[in-house]
Structure 1
């Protein structure tokens, strides 16, 4: 099968390689000419046979919307656009409606696997019409992990369902990572535990907390046993926030995922304003000790007197 792939970054570039390794022809476009196969979107569309299938792998939000709008002007009836980025499911409704006016099909595909997907395959969650899913199935089969299809691929439902499933997947991922992180911090804090990396590695087989995330944690600790090379700043790409917003909208309690998201916000504060207020209150009602901010060292005097 011959498809077009837009966006050849860390994920898109590896996906192009995996598809080619499986015998598919891929024409890729990227704004970086050093990695792009063609000079423009127009050239990519011209290179594809009909029905044309174009996979988008660019950042969510405006970059994806701009790409969908551009393809709407270049593709025609019977062609297919697949958004494999981390778009919000509500954007899928708008993109599908725009393309459908010209008879262009649309699928949303949540993709998990990161930089390891080239070797291991990608977990795929797809939303859209069954006939369009069948049209693109050779591509999905090439990208997913080897083994039973239903262990690495799901047609989750209607348009938006694929990205919705991926959103919840990433929310769960937030909670799992936070649990491992808190366990690591407690082990590090206890003086009787002398081998923290080994403790994590011992959980790799035969325990109920084993997982690929645990394997990655072990790898990180073997490379940097106390994670001294890293800072504690953690970003979020949107899916965790959207998951919590959907939990509120649907009255679904999500204390673990919500707390893990807020922990990421805390990581971005060098000196938490809220915790300063907590310290002040504890001092006021209980006389508890507080840690005063160190005054900056005085610089060289510029004169003999003071205006204060």
Structure 2
């Protein structure tokens, strides 16, 4: 199929490559001209045959809303917009309503897979009308992992991102449990090699998982996690999951505790949060904070929290889509 892809960051760029490897024609647009195939959204739309399908992979919130609004002025009846970023499901309802008035379809798609998706495939959770989903189905089939699982039409518009939100909330809790277990094993001073204990759990135990594999990889890279500050961000979905639990009278104590632990990490250097930050870096390429060298400031995300927050705010509209949480 022919498909437009807006946002060619860590995930978007790899998604373009995976689609092309499977024989699809992909026209990509990004604010960075070095990776972009065209110089504007209008040029992207012009290159696509009808019905046109445009997949958006930019940061959630205003960057996505404004991109969808611009596409609404460029596309026509029967075309489809796919939001594959980490948008809040309530945004999907508003976007779909706006596009529906113009006869343009809308599909929301939660995407999981991080920087590993190019080779392993992406878990996809999508919502929308069956007719709109059908127009995107060849891309879904190419992006998903091999095998019977890894992709689902979750329901109506909003269901895809709502499912991905809950997925990420669960992810918060699992990472927190691994991280707390690691800190306890290190602190007790009874275990000679904590990394090897974690490695042994990768086979035959009920807690084996890909996140456990990534935790071991992080410990192999940096035994004791001495090069990572105990500071972990949250990308929104954990907060939204807790809020949804409150709205639906569903208790989410494990997810809530994991979210709050990340808040605590921003006050003090936490060994547990070193582990969370290490896993986030392993699966999503997220930045980690490192200690400042003598006589100078640390680079990038190793700024003081208030400075880092200002830097993140300044880059909110940079065109980079978020990966995993």
CA distance in 1, matches of 2:269, 2:34: 42
Partners of 1:155 and 1:219 lie apart in 2 by: 33
When residues 163 and 235 of structure 1 are mapped into structure 2, their CA distance, relative to the original with a 3 A threshold, is same
Aligned pairs for 1:107-256 within 5 A = 107-148=107-148, 151-256=149-254
SS of 1:42's partner is: helix
Backbone CA RMSD of aligned residues? 1.0
Is there any run of 5+ residues in structure 1 with no aligned partner, and where?
273-308
Are the equivalent residues in 1 in contact too, given 2:231–2:269 (CA < 8 A)? Answer: no
Secondary structure in structure 2 of the residue aligned to 1:245: helix
Alignment of 1:1-308 (within 5 A): 1-148=1-148, 151-270=149-268
2:76 counterpart SS class: coil
Matched residue of 2:239: which SS?
A: helix
Runs of at least 4 residues off by over 6 Å: none
1:109 aligned counterpart, secondary structure: strand
Indicate if the aligned counterparts of 2:229 and 2:269 stay in contact, CA closer than 8 A: no
User: 3-state DSSP class of the match of 2:225?
Assistant: coil
Looking at structure 2, the residues matched to 270 and 107 of structure 1 have their Cα atoms a distance apart, in angstroms, of 41
Instruction: Give the match's secondary structure for 1:73.
Output: helix
- Number of the residue aligned with 1:291: none
Q: Which residue of 2 aligns with 1:287?
A: none
Measure, in 2, the Cα distance between the counterparts of 1:271 and 1:4: 43
Counterpart of 2:320? none
* TM-superposed deviation, 1:258: 0.3
SS at 1:38 equivalent: coil
**Cα distance in 1 for residues equivalent to 2:101 and 2:201:** 53
Instruction: Answer 1 or 2: higher relative contact order, Cα 8 Å, separation at least 6.
Output: 2
Distance across 2 between alignment mates of 1:63 and 1:22: 29
Deviations, residues 69-128 of structure 1 (Å, cap 9, x unaligned): 100110000000000000000000000000011100000000000000000000000000
What SS does structure 2 have at the residue aligned with 1:77?
Answer: coil
2:7 and 2:57 in contact (8 A); partners too? yes
Shift of 1:270: 3.2
Q: Distance in 2 between matches of 1:270 and 1:97?
A: 44
Distance in structure 2 (CA, Å) of the matches to 1:271 and 1:27: 44
TM-score (norm 1): 0.87
What is the SS of the residue equivalent to 2:244? helix
Per-residue deviation, 1:131: 1.3
| Counterpart for residue 301 of structure 1 | none
Could you say which residue in structure 2 is the equivalent of 1:280? none
8 A Cα contact 2:53 2:135, kept in partner: no
- List per-residue Cα deviations over 1:145-193 (Å, max 9, x = no partner): 0011xx1111000000000000000000000000000000001112121
Distance 1:120 1:217 in 2: 18
Report how many aligned residue pairs link the two structures: 270
Unpaired runs of 5+ residues, structure 2, are 271-325
Which deviates the most, 131-140 or 10-19? 131-140
Cα separation, 2, equivalents of 1:236 and 1:94: 24
